[in-house]
Structure 1
């Protein structure tokens, strides 16, 4: 899952990557938590646009928000089928700019160890997201969003079995274009990212408190998780009648 993440890149860096026309000014955020406003990028009239949404998707058909679960994540494998997400998967896909995220690893009977997981080469990544506009009986309206998760890649598996689905820049247009792409047309994008995209380092439990939103919570307190190694190809068995000579034909 993804329960905390960060967006510390400058507004100019984010705008350059996603190509929207707006020029929003937003501060660096080191510890973004559920129910807080988050930056999203979505299609409007065939072009990418910046918007803010509450982190915690609420489908338009919800009558009583107080009795509805907080949906901060959606499983990529089943989102197109679940009542809470299928409408957004078809009509309201978005991208969530991020510079990394946090995950907690269970350590035996002790407290969970938090990890800061960020692109190995730095920069901004785009989490696959869904958004929904919700209107209250009093006329109030709010945009809400969730982050899609997929199975963890080999690098993240030692920490947690799920991670955010990452959309590559070359696929931004295809993911956002809900007018021409049904969920089945973009399902192939919702897969674990390459094993070498992220690195993970243990950090202080200060990140556990939402009030701590400063660069120090990303400082390593131990060694990074080793980069996952690609499995060695299986060796082919030599046929029993092979005399060790190479065949020309």
Structure 2
């Protein structure tokens, strides 16, 4: 799964990387502790080209009457994405890319203490999560919402967690966004083998109020 992440790439650099037209209301960067319900940077495709938009991290199905009417859907399992009522239409019609620099996962010590790890690309490039999105709410409060698609962990990450975000390489972006026709389902499997690395970080990140670049600095495991 993915419950917290970091984004440090400047907004204009993100727009250039994805050849996307940026919205004027993008979240401020850097943010080393992006939490559920925060606005995140999302790339969407369309007839007029790609856009880079701020969407709420926490998918809201159309039948939710309020933002808290049901579970907080920050992740969507690839294995059931096309079947779950909340996600099946979005799986077909509203796939997106969610941009990150790295993400956090937790293990537990023998004493039950939560130990955070920071996971990032070995080459230092941004990470691109596969996502799905949904507009939600009445016109006056309408907002875009999204969830990160997850798969079973690859061999490297399985040492710290059994799930991981579905990570897409640049050659996969057009297919996931629907720009290269059908067949996105073949991308929904564990990947990024040999691409990611991780290290222990300070437990300060256990708090959703923590901030600052110190959150991703390595500490002894």
Paired residues of 1:9 and 1:123 also in contact (CA < 8 A): no
- Classify the secondary structure of the residue corresponding to 1:157: helix
User: Which residue is equivalent to 2:19?
Assistant: 19
- 1:9-59: CA deviation from partner (whole Å, max 9, x where unpaired): 122331222111337563211110001111100012152111111110001
The aligned runs of 1:128-167 (5 Å cut-off) are: 128-136=130-138, 139-167=140-168
Structure 1 equivalent of residue 172 of structure 2? 171
The TM-score with structure 1 as length reference comes to 0.83
Bigger Rg over Cα: 1
The equivalent residue for 2:194 is 196
For 2:213, the equivalent position in structure 1 comes to 215
Cα deviations across residues 72-123 of structure 1 (Å, max 9, x unaligned)? Answer: 0000111110001111101110000111100001223321210000101102
Q: Secondary structure at the match of 1:174?
A: helix
User: What do the CA deviations read for 1:177-208 (whole angstroms, capped 9, x no partner)?
Assistant: 17943xxx211112222321111100111101
Normalized against structure 2, the TM-score is what?
0.93
Alignment partner of 1:104 out of 81, 103, 106: 106
Deviations 1:138-189 (A, max 9, x none): 74211110000111111111100000001110111111017943xxx21111
Taking only aligned residues, the RMSD between alpha carbons, in angstroms, comes to: 1.8
Query: 1:65 Cα deviation (Å)?
Result: 3.0
Count of residue pairs brought into register by the alignment:
219
Contact 2:23 2:54 in 1 (8 A): no
Stretches of structure 1 lacking an aligned partner (at least 5 in a row):
224-249
* Alignment partners' CA distance in 1, 2:160 and 2:23: 37
Question: Who is 1:230 aligned against?
Answer: none
Gaps spanning 5+ residues in structure 2: where?
Answer: none
Conservation of the 8 A alpha-carbon contact between 1:92 and 1:178: no
Aligned-partner Cα distance in 2 for 1:33–1:97: 14
